[in-house]
Amino acid sequence: SLAADPAVISPQDPTLLIGSSLVATCTVSPDSHLKAEDLYWTLNGRRLPATSYTALSPTTLSVALSHLNGSKQQSGDNLVCHSRDGGILAGSCLYVGLPPEKPVNITCWSKNMKDLTCKWAPGTEGETFLPTNYTLKYKLRWYGRDNTCQEYHTAGPYSCHIPKDLALFTPYEIWVEASNRLGVAVSDVVMLDILDVVTTDPPPDVHVSRVGDLEDQLSVRWSSPPALKDFLFQAKYQIQYRVEDSSEWKVVDDVGNQTSCRLAGLRPGTVYFVQVRCNPYGIYGSKKAGIWSDWSNPTAASTPRSERAAGGCDPKGGEQNTTLRRELKQFFGWVKKHAYGCSNLGIKLYDQWRVWLQKSHKTRNQV
């Protein structure tokens, strides 16, 4: 190597546990006309202190690293040997991290009984500071060979999708293997039947409409998932709705198997957004609970505006004059009955009459 390169670092690209120590050496080629005192070290671009150096020979300089932290880069930390003028003579990648932990929390679902998607968690700590590969494997429980999932990251960073060629009425064994430069870890085996983990597309054809002139109600209708129309199954539905200017959803749980529902107790003259989702269960007699679909796209509708709360226009001039004449006639009739001998009429007396009039109307309504 020295014949081709100006210097060589040893060890080359080591893999170490977090907290380890390392002594690396840089040996320059005789043809470079460099000496150990002409060299210095950097780690990820930061110059290492000269107190960590030791000249092992006229052409070899070592550096001591202790209590190493996890690698800051997935491609490894860059340990570089330089000449005095800053030129790069040689480099090595340090891979410092942890072995993988056993993957946990494997969950799977089948969209419309046509495929299977699984996801998992990488263990209690998760971060290994090293490139870690995850492989999902599966096989039929009583026979068959091991199969390896090919489509990763379809439902998040720790997930894989099996698009086809799945058997029904036979349980599968599913597990995940994690591997990196420091070791291998295997999850517990999960056993499942495709029929027990079915979910659907969101319910289609969601319509929201008014219920006549009822100002506090909306009617919601939708269709059953078409992909499951040929299978024996039951379905549960949920509705959630919110006011246009709010982010808080209210959920209606007790919709059951029906494909319509009436929302009541709403605000008059208000725009609402409504979503529906489906949970298929009991497919071909399966006793397991189904898995909720995603929510349908929001559908908007508004309740009728309340006439009592609506801001109306002022009465026409003729209607105002008629009302005023009627009130004045009532007022002077009241004055003649209750204010004998009064010569000065004012606003205070008029206000007393209005209170009397309101009490009179209230008593009449109660009767």
Does any domain span residue 216?
A: yes
Q: What is the pLDDT of residue 325?
A: 64
Task: Give residue-wise pLDDT tens across range 10-39.
Answer: 999 999 999 999 999 999 988 878 999 999
Does any domain span residue 281?
A: yes
Query: Do 161 and 125 share a domain, yes or no?
Result: yes
CATH of the domain at 75: 2.60.40.10
Range of the domain at 298: 200-303
The average confidence (pLDDT) of the chain is 84
Query: Do 179 and 246 share a domain, yes or no?
Result: no
Range from 186-190, 250-254, 361-365 that averages highest in pLDDT:
186-190
Domain end marker among 303, 332, 361: 303
pTM of the complete model beyond 0.75: no
Task: Give residue-wise pLDDT tens across range 154-201.
Answer: 988 899 999 988 888 889 999 999 999 999 999 999 999 888 898 988
Does any domain span residue 359?
A: no
Domain end marker among 82, 97, 112: 97
Task: Give residue-wise pLDDT tens across range 190-204.
Answer: 999 888 898 988 999
Query: Do 123 and 83 share a domain, yes or no?
Result: no
Does any domain span residue 93?
A: yes
Task: Give residue-wise pLDDT tens across range 90-115.
Answer: 999 999 999 999 999 999 999 878 89
- Helices 317-338 + 347-366 axis angle, to 10: 90
Q: What is the pLDDT of residue 120?
A: 95
Domain end marker among 198, 232, 258: 198
What is the Cα 303 distance to its own chain's centre?
31
What number is the average pLDDT over the span 203-223?
93
Cβ atoms of 137 and 118 within 8 Å: the answer is: no
Does any domain span residue 188?
A: yes
* CA–CA dist 234, 285 (Å, integer): 10
Number of domains in the chain: 3
Query: Do 228 and 268 share a domain, yes or no?
Result: yes
Instruction: Read off the tokens for 349.
Output: 């007396």
